[in-house]
Amino acid sequence: MNAKFNPEAEVARLLKEHRDKIAALTLQLKESRQANHRKKRQLRQMQASFTNPRCWLCRFTVSEKFMKSMRAAKDHAKQQGLGRGNGGRGEMPCPAGCGGILRYSVASVNGHMHAACTTAECVRWME
């Protein structure tokens, strides 16, 4: 017992299917536009921070201090025998020159380091 083909029902079904597809595409387009708007706003903020020389210099100084501290802490940990397979903690005078103490810990699982200086606005990181 095959049901008799009903062209009106088939047309209604196809129209509903197409409406659903159009609605889904419209939603994707709207989300894409919102994402593009966010990306453009972030780009404008980044451009503004680099056009302000004082802000750019501040970021460079922080980055230089961070890299110097990170290299020194990794060397200190290596001298102590800490690394992958042998985790532990250590501390050293802060290489950034703030007068604080840089405390760090090394994970034995992967050798990643977490560190922070005791001075509030100095360096800290987590790998």
pLDDT at 92: 94
Mean pLDDT score of the chain, rounded to an integer? 79
The residue among 44 and 106 whose pLDDT is bigger is 106
- Express each pLDDT in 65-109 by its tens digit: 888 888 999 999 999 999 888 999 999 999 888 889 999 999 999
Long-range Cβ pairs for the range 116-124 (8 Å, 24+): 117/69, 118/94, 119/94, 122/65, 122/94, 122/96, 122/98, 123/65, 123/66, 123/69, 123/70, 123/94, 123/96
Model confidence, pTM:
0.51
Segment 32-60 shows an average pLDDT of 64
Q: Is the dihedral of CA 12, 15, 20, 21 positive or negative?
A: positive
Dist. CA 9–CA 96, nearest whole Å: 76
**Kind plus residue range of the DSSP H or E element containing 33:** helix 7-51
Domain boundaries, the chain: 1-51, 62-126
pLDDT at 29 over 90: no
pLDDT at 35: 76
pLDDT at 126 over 70: yes
